[in-house]
Structure 1
């Protein structure tokens, strides 16, 4: 589908994913106008499952028996648990703050990779991660407004837990699901968690809300956009980056997400400060260094193969 050996394609996918996921927080907020947080999360999962059903039917026989549990864990960690954590958090914190906190994923990806998945990290890649984190902290310091003395801090922790789930999943896919392609990881992950979300959804007052609330269909439309673009399609592309480029580079998508969160805030009338532009520049520098190290690593690997 894409030649992911080309840096231009890698960067295009990275920014496209960041744009989609940066928009997801606004779409969640729109969904919460009508539905409660658990219903929004369940709808997101169920609609993604239905959207991916043709792929599931076509490729069902390609999944081996010993792969099902791994795919279930990938679906749970990469989509299931975070969907509920984010919507719960956004009942108390802003969508832009959720996007900013999401930028912790690359740091947790590195830490968890080093501690539990025997990740070997070159100094240049580590430098890029640290620079990106500094930029993310800069954005938080300007626009976050988190204090341990208020409820926002407690609900922000839910987003942090979600980022840890993402980080574990990134390493898990890279090391334990090498033999399964990214489309099947995503599709069959939703096959295993989608029906569970559906059972919850239709035992709630979802159908009653659809019949009685005038804004229900508009909220459902926003959640459908969130599910199809921000979940199903985005997770496929994200898993492609994990498997074909690197876990750290793929997770650096979340460093760029706050850039688009600020963009949506600007369109919504929020003020943009100089420090935010500086922080964005720092973030992009960090991501560039991570990608630069990926290219150097591949070049060295090719040179070794040539010598052998």
Structure 2
């Protein structure tokens, strides 16, 4: 309810009427009324200050529009009342922060997935192993490392069930000529157990190591991004693929003069073949990682020696 209290202030014969509005509680919620009982209407501006007339005029007092000699009208204008320590009548809305969008969801039906891997090693000039293949949109990626005291004149050929594979990269460990690895691929290899064969001619081979990775969900018309290669020496072998796409998978291979210890997270090791330390590439390994939608680094801890890395994204 609303209560009006009249206080008589006598100074220089002026009678001032001040209306005070109280807070009304309805169902436990209070409404501050400063506009004649209409919460939806703006409050009137405060009255102006005017000098009181008279021979003994005192300080300036608020003018209410009422004559000094006349009694206050029955419906005096409301004077805004502000309760000490009260908050504004404007409803308060808690600030909200925009959620940071995460990476787009990957449809498992269209993403590249790991199928299986196979590998082998030999201290001769030929090498073979069996690779299982399954899935609908299949891709086979093969790596062979040639360890030779001098790899000048070496020629490497690789086949899958007798069919030649498409060459992708060849990179020499530490850019030397004591060994290298080459990577090949085949779109839509036959399902089932495939025989991968490698043969080197034109040089004396100390050690051959190699392996293959079968993938499902690969784009059958353009399955590969640009291959990235790196070479160097030391105990960390790495290469970075930039601009990967969500739903893809990055495949990496390493060859090293010393043994390969382990793939660095978040990569998953797929095979490791440590054969010989007599050359610059007598050992090799492979790993994969789901494409993060940005740069992806394939790295291995290796025994300090000459090394080479190939990394390639397989796209859905």
TM-score, normalised to structure 2's length? Answer: 0.23
More relative contact order, 1 or 2 (CA 8 Å, 6+ apart): 1
TM-score (norm 1): 0.24
When Rg is computed on C-alpha atoms for both structures, the one with the higher figure is: 2
**Structure that is richer in strand per residue:** 2
> Which of the two has greater helix per residue?
1
